[in-house]
Structure 1
Amino acid sequence: MKFWSVGVIGLVGVAAIVGSVYVSPGALLALAVVVALAVGIGWPHYLGIPAKKTLAAVIGLPGAGSAVAAYYVPAPGFLNWTPAFIALGVMAIFVVQLIRGTGQAQRLESTLGCCVGVLLSCLGAGWIAGARFNGVKEMLLVAGVSAAVALLAGLIQWPDRIVAPLGVILAGLAGPLAGVVFSDIAVLPAAVFGVVVGAVLVSFRRLVTLRGGPINFLAALSMGLGPVSAVGSLAYFIDKLLIY
């Protein structure tokens, strides 16, 4: 698959998550678990490392556990268990590498890269935390609009030096616009959120283009949904710090 397919997968993921927010909390939980598992399954394929099935499990399962915890934990500590699941996943990765033994291929790349995968998988719990935080669904809608604009900018097949600032600027403008149209969120927090989301998503675009050449579907799935997962926690913390 070509690199632009990653952006399309990301757009579908954003639309599905924001839509599930308006359906029911249970639908959002189910989708968050699916996204976490998808990131886990595809991340080893993107890295091109051995032991893909085992590492997929230790990346995806902590993310699923983090999402379930964010759904059931009492307020206000929605993400209190997320660091524990991240630590559990990282420890599991080190255990897997120890079992593989000394001298195995790509041990360092596998360890470092999979730790990043665990982080991305677990950060998806932020979508659930944001939905539960103050019941204002519009904030997540603003998050989705900003992310979608940044992903759409990333589909443009121009050099990264042009697309990167363009994506950040457009996302920074889309945030306040969405805030004005869909809610009463102040312009400044919405703009800050848009800029941060844009920066994160165009950074992931760079990771895809650095890979060079086509990638398989599982790798594209993980790279498309990984940054979308991270946006959930960004929305939650910006909501707490700047808006609530």
Structure 2
Amino acid sequence: MRSWSIGAIGLAGLAAIVGASYSSPEALLAVGVLTAVGVGIGWPHFLGIPARKTLAVLIGLPGVGSAIGATYLPAPGFLDWTPSFMAAGVMAVFVMQLIRGTGQAQRLESTLGSCAGVMLSCLGAGWIACFRFNGVREMLLVAAISAAIALLAGLIRWPDRVVAPLGVIGAGLAGPLAGLVFSDIAVLPAVIVGVVVGAVLVSFRRLVILRGESLSFAAALGMGLGPVAAVGSLAYFIDKLLIF
């Protein structure tokens, strides 16, 4: 698949998150679980590392647990279980690599890359926490719209030195505009959310460019959903620090 498919998958994931937030907490949980599963399945394929089926389980399950915890834990500790799931996932990856034994192909790359995948999978629970934090969809919408602008900028087939600033600036402008239209969020927090979200997403675009190979659907799925999952927790913590 071509690199633009990653952006399309990311946009579809964002649309599913926003749509589920207008439906029910259970629907948002289902999207969170599917996102974690998608990251678990796709991330090892993107990295091109061995033992992909086993690593898919080790990466996806902590994210599923984090999403469940963010849905049902009482306020304000929506993400209290997330660090524990991250730690458990990282330990499981190390144990798995020990079982594989020394001398195995791409052992270091597999370990480090899988640990990063565990973190991305678990950070997706931030979208659920962001929704539950103040009981409205304000920051969730601002973050999702900013992320969508950055992903759309990433679809432009221009040099990265042009697309990267464009994505960050576009997301930074989209944040306050979305805040003014859809909520009463102050300009400063909305700008910060937009800029941070844009910077994260254009950084992941750079990873795709550096890989420089045609992607399978599974690889595009993991790379499309991974950064989308990450920006959910960013939006939640910025919301928590700057608004309340």
What is the TM-score with the length of structure 2 in the denominator? Answer: 0.99
Residue 58 of structure 2 is matched in structure 1 by: 58
Q: Which residues of structure 1 form unaligned runs of 5+?
A: none
Q: Tell me which amino acid in the other structure corresponds to 1:8.
A: A
Give the superposition deviation at 1:193: 0.5
Q: Tell me which amino acid in the other structure corresponds to 2:209.
A: T
Residue 146 of structure 1 is matched in structure 2 by: 146
Kindly report which structure 2 residues correspond to 1:211-226, keeping only aligned pairs within 5 A, or say none.
Answer: 211-226=211-226
Q: For structure 1, which segment, 206-215 or 167-176, has the greater mean C-alpha deviation from structure 2 after superposition?
A: 206-215
Residue 174 of structure 1 is matched in structure 2 by: 174
- SS of 2:22's equivalent in the other structure is helix
Alpha-carbon separation, structure 1, partners of 2:243 and 2:147: 18
Identical positions, percent: 77
Alpha-carbon separation, structure 1, partners of 2:99 and 2:108: 14
Kindly report which structure 2 residues correspond to 1:1-244, keeping only aligned pairs within 5 A, or say none.
Answer: 1-244=1-244
Q: Deviations over 1:56-111 (max 9, x none)?
A: 00000000001001111111100010000000000000011000000000000000
Q: Tell me which amino acid in the other structure corresponds to 1:181.
A: V
Q: Tell me which amino acid in the other structure corresponds to 2:35.
A: V
Q: Which residues of structure 2 form unaligned runs of 5+?
A: none
Alpha-carbon separation, structure 1, partners of 2:48 and 2:192: 35
Give the superposition deviation at 1:55: 0.5
Q: Tell me which amino acid in the other structure corresponds to 1:157.
A: R
Instruction: Return structure 1 stretches of 4+ with deviation > 4 angstroms.
Output: none
Give the superposition deviation at 1:139: 1.4
Q: Tell me which amino acid in the other structure corresponds to 1:192.
A: I
Give the superposition deviation at 1:229: 0.3
Alpha-carbon separation, structure 1, partners of 2:219 and 2:213: 12
Alpha-carbon separation, structure 1, partners of 2:42 and 2:139: 29
Q: Tell me which amino acid in the other structure corresponds to 2:16.
A: A
Give the superposition deviation at 1:213: 2.3
Give the CA RMSD over aligned residues. 0.6
Alpha-carbon separation, structure 2, partners of 1:238 and 1:136: 15
Q: Deviations over 1:212-231 (max 9, x none)?
A: 02100000000000000011
Give the superposition deviation at 1:19: 1.0
- SS of 1:49's equivalent in the other structure is coil
What is the TM-score with the length of structure 1 in the denominator? Answer: 0.99
Q: Deviations over 1:107-144 (max 9, x none)?
A: 00000000000000000000111111111212111111
Give the superposition deviation at 1:4: 0.8
Give the superposition deviation at 1:166: 0.6
